[in-house]
Amino acid sequence: MSTLWKDIRYKMLHSGSKLGLLIGINVIVFLAIGIPSVFEQLFLKTANIDAFAVKYLELPANLKTLAQHFWTPITYMFMHAGPLHILFNMLWLYWMGQIFEEYLGNKRTLTLYFLGGLAGAIFFVAGINLIPLFSGPEWQSVAVIGASASVMAIVIATATLLPNYEIYLMFLGPVKLKWLAIAYVILDFLGTVGPNAGGELAHLGGALIGFIYIKQLQRGNDWSKPVNRLFTANPKMKVVAGGATDSRKSASSALPRQDEIDRILDKISQSGIDSLSKQERETLSRASNNDR
């Protein structure tokens, strides 16, 4: 058991990837609420824990309730309605997040996850309160939970960066990410008149911010930098003795310029990853390793 815990702690805190941290938080929150709730219902025949979670952790559409529970735009993105809900969200987060971090490093994952969740919250609250279809009083009592908007942001961001990247889907075979992203957005849009309208609105918000995030990154605007600065210590000056060999090593490992990275990202977006030369792949790899 101690070895298992060490492995989990390593993947969450020390592996470098932020996917383990995000998945770990989601799973811990789900189990911390779900397991006591099941015991309570089995032996006490009450559901106070579930009622507390619904009241204080889910994102409400009602503006008055939202003002009183102002923290819910953050907490809702780590809540899930059941085992299948969290399973599929975490699987897509892991699959798409690995591709995202492979090409862009791991310093942008947390920022995009939270931006996607917040955009989903805005779309949900604004949609329920402004769209005529949801003007009935019964809609003021609805709430939304789940990491779906955050995951959607990472899925669409990855597809925007690598539109021709292929993944293998059961029963469908190899599918390019751009077609997968388009299908998801269309299905979510059609679902806005269905029983899970609030959730679909949140998905669309996450999708939009994922698309905009990559387009801004390709223009040289990295929205993750302000967040990364908060967690990066100022480097200390260090004098290192060395000759020509050290100079050559320094030159070979020098970080690529931002405009060069942006040019490569634009090329990937337009022509796919296979269009990169060996030198361009090495440049992208150095930038990604620096982020890690």
Q: Which of 124, 137, 189, 184 is nearest to 159 (CA)?
A: 184
Q: Which two tokens stand for residue 220?
A: 């040289």
pLDDT digits (tens, 9 = 90+) for 221-279: 888 887 766 655 555 545 444 444 444 444 444 566 666 777 777 777 666 676 777 77
pLDDT digits (tens, 9 = 90+) for 134-164: 998 999 999 999 999 999 999 999 999 999 9
Asked if residue 289 has pLDDT above 70, the reply is: no
Q: Which of 224, 103, 221, 225 is nearest to 160 (CA)?
A: 103
Q: Which two tokens stand for residue 230?
A: 């908060």
Residue for token pair 């990247």: 165
Q: What is the DSSP secondary structure assignment for residue 71, as one 8-state letter?
A: T
Q: Alpha-carbon distance 114 to 73, whole Å?
A: 10
65-88 average pLDDT score: 96
Half-sphere exposure of 55 (CA within 13 A, CB side): 6
Cα–Cα–Cα angle for 185, 188, 189, rounded to 5 degrees: 85
Q: Which of 64, 272, 62, 69 is nearest to 177 (CA)?
A: 272
Q: What is the DSSP secondary structure assignment for residue 58, as one 8-state letter?
A: S
164 contacts: CB under 8 Å, gap ≥ 6: 176, 177, 178, 271, 272, 273, 274
186-202 average pLDDT score: 96
Q: Which two tokens stand for residue 141?
A: 């009592």
DSSP letters for 178-203: HHHHHHHHHHHHHGGGSTTHHHHHHH
**Domain regions of the chain by residue span:** 15-218, 252-292
Domain 15-218: give its CATH architecture.
Up-down Bundle (1.20)
Q: Alpha-carbon distance 154 to 17, whole Å?
A: 14
Half-sphere exposure of 143 (CA within 13 A, CB side): 22
pTM, 2 dp: 0.80
User: What pLDDT is stored for residue 155 in this prediction?
Assistant: 97
